[in-house]
């Protein structure tokens, strides 16, 4: 059921479809679709519907290190700046990012922009499903790339990302906590990992917070509900690192924690795909 959150902006972390609908004509607005697609773009794009003015954010391609061993690996600062500029991102842009599942891959894009020094970026609460539910206009093609390259200047924030060489120390530090966004069945090793050949397991001393627990259908749960969920963990004065399968849904946890004003947040870039491969 649709929840009226038209006044909810959460300091540029989350915006409602009502807000986006009312601000579509803002010249500084850049709308990005972050949906991860498993088939050829030329095939799937021909049958899709989009929010007007949408530009496609190629999370698995242009905005990942495609030569890395593991999926969705953080791109270099030069690559991110180049590709963001190619999408017309300027220093004064207002970015809203969405996906076709509601809230799934869009928080990864939000976290990437924050990691590369851009703060005026928000996730669309409920994404395309929520937009359609309110019967707002959709279009059958992406925005025509008639814009000029933007002037966005990337500034890397290394504290936002954790890599394999830091995880062992973090997992044994009493002042840190790793929260894993995978399902309880995956976290507990009751079902196989979806990536072929990847062993089941968990990072030592990590705890489980399935990202689905934070969602009410397509939207993020209320701030009060999120607070209750996070309060089930002993988080006082701890830094938080979020993990998942490949660094995508971990960013949903990061989004919620940021809304709740927790400090010292980071995402383990390689997540279980990397950790489970490099350890026994």
Active-site positions? 244
- Are 128 and 54 in contact by the 8 Å Cβ rule? The answer is no
Instruction: Describe the crossing of helices 223-230 and 250-259 by its angle, rounded to 10 degrees.
Output: 110
Cα–Cα distance for residue pair 58/63, rounded to 1 Å: 6
Cα–Cα distance for residue pair 18/134, rounded to 1 Å: 9
Residue 139 CA from chain centroid, whole number: 24
- Are 245 and 4 in contact by the 8 Å Cβ rule? The answer is no
Residue 29 CA from chain centroid, whole number: 19
Distant-in-sequence, close-in-space partners of 214: CB < 8 Å, separation ≥ 6: 220, 221, 226, 229, 252, 253, 256
Cα–Cα distance for residue pair 167/82, rounded to 1 Å: 30
């Amino acid at each position: 059921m649709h929840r009226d959150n038209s006044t909810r902006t959460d300091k540029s972390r989350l915006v409602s479809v009502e807000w986006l609908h009312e601000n579509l004509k803002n010249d500084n607005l850049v709308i990005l679709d972050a949906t991860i697609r498993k088939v050829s773009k030329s095939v799937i794009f021909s049958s899709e519907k989009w929010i007007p003015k949408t530009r496609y954010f190629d999370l698995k391609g242009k905005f990942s290190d495609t030569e890395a061993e593991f999926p969705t690996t953080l791109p270099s600062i030069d690559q991110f700046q180049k590709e963001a500029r190619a999408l017309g991102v300027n220093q004064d842009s207002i970015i809203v990012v969405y996906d076709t599942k509601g809230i799934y891959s869009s928080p990864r894009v939000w976290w990437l922009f924050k990691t590369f020094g851009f703060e005026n970026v928000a996730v669309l609460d409920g994404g395309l499903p929520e937009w359609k539910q309110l019967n707002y206009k959709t279009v059958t093609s992406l925005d025509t790339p008639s814009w000029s390259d933007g002037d966005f200047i990337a500034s890397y924030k290394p504290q936002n990302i954790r890599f394999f060489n830091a995880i062992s120390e973090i997992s044994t530090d009493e002042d840190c906590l790793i929260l894993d966004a995978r399902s309880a069945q995956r976290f507990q090793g009751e079902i196989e990992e979806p990536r072929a050949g990847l062993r089941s397991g968990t990072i030592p001393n990590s705890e489980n917070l399935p990202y689905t627990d934070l969602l009410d259908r397509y939207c993020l749960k209320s701030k009060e509900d999120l607070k209750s969920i996070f309060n089930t963990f002993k988080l006082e004065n701890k830094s938080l690192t979020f993990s998942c399968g490949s660094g995508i849904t971990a960013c949903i946890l990061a989004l919620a924690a940021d809304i709740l004003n927790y400090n010292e947040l980071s995402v383990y870039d390689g997540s279980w795909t990397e950790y489970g491969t490099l350890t026994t």
